[in-house]
Structure 1
Amino acid sequence: MSEEKKLRKKDLRSILWRSFALQGAFNYERMQNLGFCYTMIPAIKRLYDKEEEQSLALKRHLEIFNTTPVAVPTIAGISAAMEEQNANHQDFDTSSINAVKTALMGPLAGIGDSLFWGTLRIIAAGIGISFATQGNLIGPLLFLLLYNVPNLLVRIYGLKFGYSVGVNSLERIQKEGLMDKIMSIATTVGLVVVGAMVATMLKVSTPLKFNVNGAKVVIQDILNQILPNLLPLVLTLVIFWMIRKKFSISKLTIAIIFFGIIVHWAGIL
């Protein structure tokens, strides 16, 4: 009987430190996938002896990935625990690893961006600036401490929590059929967050106006009466449809830039 494979504290520390390089190779095709794959290498090397198994694990983590960086250790901890289960159980469903990653990255991105980028960073900057404007050197230092100390603590304990939850609860979750429910809930939350981001962060409007029998008709006002933020929604759905049809992300990005320039020059948007 072969010895059960187990990750060590040293491996988890390596995963934590590697997570800081997440966006070092960001790309518009699969976003943070290279950084996440790099983060998972210590676990993959520890758990898989054969080169073929390591190769398959690396390919698993080269799928598209994008979330707020502070949440990455939590997802990496869960992924590491699932890889550990896979290394010790031949009947483990490897597709569930990426399924869980995909289900978690959206909701955690929304929570992380709101708490850290949208709240903590602003508060820390405000406090730091109030000292800095008085010529006090503690201003920038206070900003860095107020933002980075919670950031680091969430990363450290997020990794421990993710790995602990994965190791202790994964088998029970699978047996009781809770995985589908968790993924469904997480996906729903993620879609709500993405929908809110489209409405608040994507600004698309039209300046078109017409005179009808002496009355000025503003197209944007009509669209707002039909559905607020209708144009951002339509643009998002069109781009989503094109991605589903396997359009190249790089070509699509360039096309959007040129399209934006042309319609703005023409006075349409």
Structure 2
Amino acid sequence: MTSKLEMGQNPYAITKSDLIRMSLNVGSLGVEYSWTYANQMGLAFGVMMDKILKKIYHDDPEGYAAALERHTSFFNITVQFAPFVGGIAASMEEKIARGEIPAASVNEVKAALMGPLSGIGDSIFLTTLRVLAAGIGVSMAQMGNPLAPLVFLLIYNIPAFALRIWGVQKGYELGVGMLEAAQQNGIMDKVMTIAGIVGIMVLGSMTVDMFWAEIAVQFGSGDEVTALQDVLDSILPGMFALICMGLYYWLLGKKVSPTILILGTMLVGVIGVYFGVLA
């Protein structure tokens, strides 16, 4: 990656320092604090990208506004991988600004990366590293060591911040070099297909794990009472969650507002429990 001097004093060239600052700015570090049900981490991702986009579209206010709107759309990922995706997005935005690739391609790539990288990131940081750090910290705390909280934070955060800083640079390099080559030789299409398959698998597992409702309807009498939920689970575990997810997906396709869906879900839940239909 070249410096500004190596880029011929171009004040609008994206430098290594720009990328590192992006990986550590308020948008990057605050993706969980500006989370919304509609766009999840989208707003924070847009804030993370903002200064880079201003550089790329320094002479094109309309292009900047369109790019900022693109990057505040729906986005969700393990937070430590957000700068990596941001680096790829930055390199793609340079190509979009030059008219080399369509604007929609950047969000397609982001969407394809969310599921696979979240599956990897959650496994590494949430279920492995965080548990390891907590185990060491708790053990030290039980022995009365006052450094236990600090050790916990260091074990978890040093790899996390290292990945942010390294990831944004590698993402940018991938976007300007390997991504273009992959598109030309057809590998990118295969990667996108594989990433889509993994993403669907992750989405399927999340649909079951993050759905907390059951059908309380029962039929039969005496010792022969059978719960409808048990019948559905015997046919396909998680069928009720899958049906609800399919309904939400269909409604979103009909341009129903996510806010309406959230309020409707709350209302249906309350009414369903009151009448004994849901549990």
TM-score by length of 2: 0.88
Partner SS, residue 230 of structure 2: helix
Aligned residues of 1:80 and 1:163 also touching (Cα < 8 A): yes
Q: Contact 1:106–1:190 at 8 Å: present in 2 too?
A: yes
In 1, Cα distance between equivalents of 2:54 and 2:219: 66
2:103 aligned with 1:100: no
Confirm or deny: 8 A CA contact 2:80 2:164 kept in the other structure: yes
Tell whether 2:78 aligns with 1:73.
no
One of 210, 234, 249 as aligned partner of 1:240: 249
Identity of aligned residues (%): 38
Q: Is the 8 A contact 2:134 2:152 kept in 1?
A: yes
The range that moved more, 60-69 or 196-205, is: 196-205
Q: Which runs of 5+ in 1 are unaligned?
A: none
1:30 aligns with 2:51: no
| Distance across 1 between alignment mates of 2:86 and 2:220 | 58
Structure-2 change in CA distance of 1:218 and 1:20 (3 Å)? same
Residues 92 and 225 of structure 1: CA distance in aligned 2, closer, same or farther (over 3 Å)? closer
**Length, aligned pairs only:** 266
SS of residue matched to 2:170: helix
Matched, 1:12 2:22: no
Q: Do the aligned partners of 2:16 and 2:169 also contact (CA within 8 Å) in 1?
A: no
Shift of 1:57: 1.7
- Report the AA paired with residue 107 of structure 1: P
- Kept after mapping to 2: 8 A contact 1:77/1:163: yes
Deviations 1:169-213 (A, max 9, x none): 132222223332222211111110110112233233233333347
Which letter maps to 2:73?
E
Contact 1:6 1:84 in 2 (8 A): no
1:259 matched residue in structure 2: 268
Matched to 1:226, the amino acid is I
Deviations 1:53-104 (A, max 9, x none): 22222122122111121110110011111122333x3332222111111111
Using the TM superposition, name which of 103-112 and 173-182 deviates more: 173-182
User: Does the Cα contact within 8 Å between 1:82 and 1:170 map onto a contact in 2?
Assistant: no
> What is the deviation of 1:6?
3.0
- Unaligned runs of 5+ residues in structure 2 are 1-7
Q: Deviations over 1:122-172 (max 9, x none)?
A: 221122112212322122111111111111111111112111111221322
* Per-residue deviation, 1:267: 1.9
Distance 1:96 1:185 in 2: 17
**1:120 aligned counterpart, secondary structure:** helix
Distance 1:215 1:57, change over 3 A: closer
Shift of 1:38: 0.9
2 CA distance for matches of 1:209 and 1:53? 58
Tell me the distance in 2 between the aligned counterparts of 1:229 and 1:56.
40
Find out whether 1:144 has 2:153 as its counterpart: yes
Q: CA RMSD in A?
A: 2.0
> Are 1:49 and 2:58 matched, yes or no?
yes
Once structures 1 and 2 are overlaid, which stretch shifts more, 122-131 or 70-79?
Answer: 122-131
Separation of aligned partners in 1, 2:104 and 2:229: 45
Q: Distance in 2 between matches of 1:210 and 1:168?
A: 62
Q: What's the TM-score, normalizing by structure 1?
A: 0.91
Instruction: Indicate if the aligned counterparts of 1:15 and 1:73 stay in contact, CA closer than 8 A.
Output: yes
Give the Cα separation in 2 of the matches to 1:211 and 1:60: 54
Verify the 8 A CA contact 1:210 1:217 in the aligned structure 2. Answer: yes
Shift of the 165–214 alpha-carbon distance from structure 1 to 2, 3 Å rule, reads: closer
